[in-house]
Amino acid sequence: MIENFSDHNIFHTQLFREFKIQNMLEFGLGQATEQFLREVPKVTSLEIYTDDKKAEETLKISGPQWAEKFKKEFNNPDWRVIMVRAGVGIMHAEYQVTGHSTSPRGANPEATAYLKEIDDIVASLTEPYDYVFVDAGIHLRGDIVNALFQRFPIIGAHDTNDRQIYGYERVKVPSNYQERRHLSGCGVTFWIKKHEVSSH
């Protein structure tokens, strides 16, 4: 039986073969990172975390020790890890979408400060990645996907069958991207810029 964290592996193998991905970034590292390190020559992992232990436990999001665990396990000198501490806006939105505030679980965040924080993180990615995968340790994944459009040619996201808690209902697909949804397991979706599709 395929574990939930890696139920996207087969679809990634197909994607890497079709588009010959040479350089990728993933939002959220973990056990599935091992596949990327095997199949893609250059991998960067970006972990958005909190150093507030109580918030980490309450919200079920990443703390700094999560990345340290996998750095030791994989020990790959060609693998780069970027650590980004979640800002006040992101943490506030996390409390809202997870139902640990006055908002019900899965609600859209009321404040918008977190969107600027996410956009700033994405804007800091100056390397021309062939592919960016969103499986972040926070729940605002749909908003990360929106920030990636037009900046990167191929975007993917995990757990897309749960469209509410991860904010995938907020994804607005631009007309120049083609969406490919795979519903098995937790669900994985790819958004591919149309000129990339036509050139392969």
The DSSP letter of residue 168 is G
* CATH classification number, 4-198, choose in 3.40.50.2300, 3.40.50.150, 3.40.50.720, 3.90.1150.10: 3.40.50.150
**Tens of pLDDT, residues 78-90:** 899 999 999 999 9
This prediction's pTM: 0.93
Query: Averaged over 180-189, what is the pLDDT?
Result: 90
Write out the DSSP string of 68-88.
HHHHHHH--TTEEEEEEE--H
User: Looking at residue 106, what is its pLDDT?
Assistant: 83
Taking the CA atoms of residue 107, residue 28, residue 12 and residue 115 in that order, the dihedral angle to the nearest 10 degrees is: 40
Listed by start position, the domains of the chain span 4-198
